[in-house]
């Protein structure tokens, strides 16, 4: 079929822009996979066996699929958090801290609330409350940065990084001290198990996949709707693409910055809350390390589009999940996945390299994702 690229017909326009949006990330992944294969061959591994292991371990059985969904759940939330901030012209490197804080506080409500009240709480109240508190904790942590950005101009990149370290230090203190699991056999920095009434019910008996995955898909839809169909979303996108124009159009830029950061932190906090209520039923020190950077890579790979974020999350989840099988088959360390992910991010970020390799013409537009120190 012949496609006339100059045609302005709307359906073809959508098709073409969709193809454009998918083509570069796809080629970036392909290039990273080829380069990764070369690295594997250099360290005397078998690239084909390694990739076979990755795919088998992530999609090869019902259990593998369930585990991939388990990994994907926090990735979708954290990826959406970073993507939403990108849309508002903010770079949230702090998803990691917000996520961990969300996890800690929902664990606290999960195990301590029944003790404080001295009675059992019905699941219909306890579970939502546990998740909401986690979301609130993440939102609060990010809102501080949003406030500083709006009113003092303190750059969110440095501030979110500092807030990460403050969060991780605080959590380490809490989990080694006041919130430590009092079980006499316990030597690990972790909270006690949360009450049954704060746990997410299983979807299928015998599999770890939980309703959080479904919730993640729904929230992705919601984020898309907010960004594209509401006034708030319009304001976020306008402030993101041109704060000066937004100001002249009568948008309250300061307020929008704070709201964007708060929503972003809320999503990250939700990732943490669902890890606690749906999967681990407690928070353990160090479990959340790396989620922040993964979330950035996912948001970039997904071009900050909610659907893209979901797909990118599933890809990253599949890689993490399949890594164990890959290691079993080839004795290559699991850390190889991080190299692959860095390569994917590299090629997605530097799409000019991909365009050069595959001779794809640029449309000449440059999407502004972040701003320098002055902004």
Partner 1 sequence: MDLRRFGFILLVIIVLFGVVVYIGEVKVAPIVIITSMLATTIAVATPLSLGALAGLFCERSGVVNIGIEGMMLSSAFFGWLGAIYMYHVFGFPIGVSVWSGVFFAMLSGMLMGLLLAVLSITYKVDQIIGGTVINILAVGLTGFLNRQLFFGRGSVFGGHVPNSPGVLPTIHVPITEIFSPLCGSSADCLQVVTSINKVFDQKPIAISAILLVFIAHYVIFYTRWGLRTRAVGEHPKAADTVGINVIKMRYLSVTIGGALAGLAGAYFTIESVPSFEPLLTNGRGFISLAALIFGNWTPIGAWTAALVFGASQALNINLQLFRDVIPPQLAFLQQSYVVGLVPYILTMIILTGIIGKTTPPAADGVPYEK
CB of 260 to partner 1, least distance (A): 17
Measured from the CB of residue 147, what is the shortest distance to partner 1 in angstroms? 10
* 229 contacts 241 by C-beta, under 8 angstroms: no
Among the candidate windows 19-27, 100-108, 169-177, 197-205, which touches partner 1 by CB under 8 A? 169-177
Report the residue number, 206 or 374, with the smaller CB distance to partner 1.
374
Give the number of C-alpha atoms closer than 13 A to the C-alpha of residue 374, restricted to the C-beta side. 0
Q: Does 56 bind partner 1 (CB under 8 A)?
A: no
| DSSP structure string for 86-128 | HHTT---TTHHHHHHHHHHHHHHHHHHHHHHHTS---HHHHHH
Beta-ladder partners of 6: none
DSSP output for 81-93: HHHHHHHTT---T
Contact between 273 and partner 1 by CB under 8 A: the answer reads no
Cβ-proximal residues to 15 (8 Å cutoff; 6+ apart), any chain = none
Strand partners, 284: 190
The answer to the question of residue 173 lying near partner 1 (CB under 8 A) is yes
SS3 8: coil
Of 44 and 182, which CB lies nearer to partner 1 in the complex structure? 44
For partner 1, which is the closer residue by CB, 280 or 338?
Answer: 338
Provide the token pair at 242: 């041109």
One of 241, 242, 280, 370 touching partner 1 (CB under 8 A) = 370
Residue 350 binding partner 1, by CB under 8 A: yes
Does 158 help bind partner 1 (rule: CB under 8 A)? yes
Q: Is 172 in the site for partner 1 (CB under 8 A)?
A: yes
* Residue of 300, 311, 312, 317 that binds partner 1 (CB under 8 A): 300
Q: Is 89 left (phi over 0), alpha (psi -120 to 50) or beta?
A: left
Q: At 9, which helix (H) or strand (E)?
A: none
Verify binding: residue 242, partner 1, rule CB under 8 A. no
Looking at 166, 188, 253, 329, which residue binds partner 1 (CB under 8 A)?
Answer: 166
Q: Which position among 55, 162, 232, 307 is part of the footprint of partner 1 (CB under 8 A)?
A: 162
Q: What is the CA radius of gyration of the chain?
A: 22
Minimum distance from residue 337 beta carbon to partner 1 (Å): 8
- Single residue of 169, 186, 228, 230 touching partner 1 by CB under 8 A: 169
Q: How far is CA 9 from CA 1, 17, 247, 346, in A?
A: 16, 12, 34, 34
Least separation in angstroms between CB 100 and partner 1: 15
Measured distance CA(201)–CA(212) in Å, rounded: 10
Closest listed residue to residue 360, CA positions, set 369, 348, 351: 351
- Span near partner 1 by CB under 8 A; candidates 9-17, 39-47, 117-125, 303-311: 39-47
Q: Should residue 159 be labelled a site residue for partner 1 when binding is judged by CB under 8 A? A: yes
- Our finding on whether 374 is near partner 1 (CB under 8 A) is yes
* For the chain, counts of helices (H) and of strands (E): 14, 0
Maximum separation of any 2 CA atoms in the chain, in Å: 72
Q: How far is the CB of 105 from partner 1 (least distance, A)?
A: 18
The string of DSSP letters for 338-349 reads HHHHHHHHHHHH
Q: Which is nearer to partner 1, 131 or 298 (CB)?
A: 298
> Would you state the structure tokens that stand for residue 260, as one six-digit string?
């964007």
CB of 204 to partner 1, least distance (A): 33
As a whole number of angstroms, the distance between CA 270 and CA 64 comes to 24
75 vs 281, beta carbon nearer partner 1: 75
Among 126, 155, 210, 282, binds partner 1 (CB under 8 A): 155
| Of positions 170, 241, 242, 252, contacts partner 1 by CB under 8 A | 170
Minimum separation from the CB atom of position 239 to partner 1 (A): 18
Applying CB under 8 A, the residues found at the interface with partner 1 are 43-45, 91, 93, 148, 152-155, 157-159, 161-166, 169-170, 172-173, 289-290, 293, 296-297, 300, 331-333, 335-343, 345-346, 349-350, 352-353, 366, 368-374
């Amino acid at each position: 079929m012949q496609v006339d690229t100059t045609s302005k017909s709307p359906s073809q326009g959508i098709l073409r822009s969709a193809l454009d949006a998918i083509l570069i990330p796809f080629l970036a992944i392909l290039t990273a996979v080829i380069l990764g294969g070369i690295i594997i061959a250099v360290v005397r591994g078998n690239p084909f066996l390694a990739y076979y292991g990755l795919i088998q371990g992530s999609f090869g059985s019902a259990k593998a699929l369930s585990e991939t969904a388990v990994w994907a759940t926090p990735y979708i939330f954290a990826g959406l958090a970073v993507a939403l901030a990108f849309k508002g012209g903010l770079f949230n490197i702090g998803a990691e801290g917000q996520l961990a804080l969300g996890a800690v506080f929902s664990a606290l409500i999960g195990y301590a609330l029944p003790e404080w009240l001295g009675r059992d709480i019905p699941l219909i109240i306890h579970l939502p409350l546990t998740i909401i508190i986690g979301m609130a904790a993440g939102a609060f942590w990010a809102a501080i940065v949003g406030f500083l950005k709006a009113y003092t101009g303190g750059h969110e990149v440095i501030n979110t990084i500092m807030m990460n370290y403050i969060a991780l230090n605080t959590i380490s203190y809490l989990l080694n001290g006041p919130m430590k699991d009092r079980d006499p056999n316990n030597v690990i920095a972790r909270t006690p198990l949360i009450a049954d009434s704060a746990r997410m019910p299983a979807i299928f008996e015998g599999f770890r996949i939980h309703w959080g995955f479904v919730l993640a898909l729904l929230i992705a839809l919601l984020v898309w709707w907010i960004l594209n169909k509401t006034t708030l979303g319009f304001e976020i996108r306008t402030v993101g693409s041109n704060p000066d124009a937004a100001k002249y159009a009568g948008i309250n830029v300061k307020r929008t910055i704070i709201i964007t950061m708060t929503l972003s932190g809320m999503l990250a906090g939700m990732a943490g809350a669902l890890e606690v209520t749906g999967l681990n039923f407690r928070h353990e020190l160090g479990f959340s390390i790396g989620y922040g950077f993964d979330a950035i890579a996912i948001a970039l790979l997904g071009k900050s589009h909610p659907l893209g974020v979901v797909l990118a999350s599933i890809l990253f989840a599949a890689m993490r999940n399949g890594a164990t099988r890959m290691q079993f088959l080839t004795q290559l360390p699991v850390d190889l996945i991080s190299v692959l992910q860095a390569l994917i991010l590299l090629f997605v970020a530097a799409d000019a390299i991909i365009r050069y390799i595959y001779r794809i013409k640029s449309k000449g537009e440059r999407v502004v994702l972040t701003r320098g120190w002055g902004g």
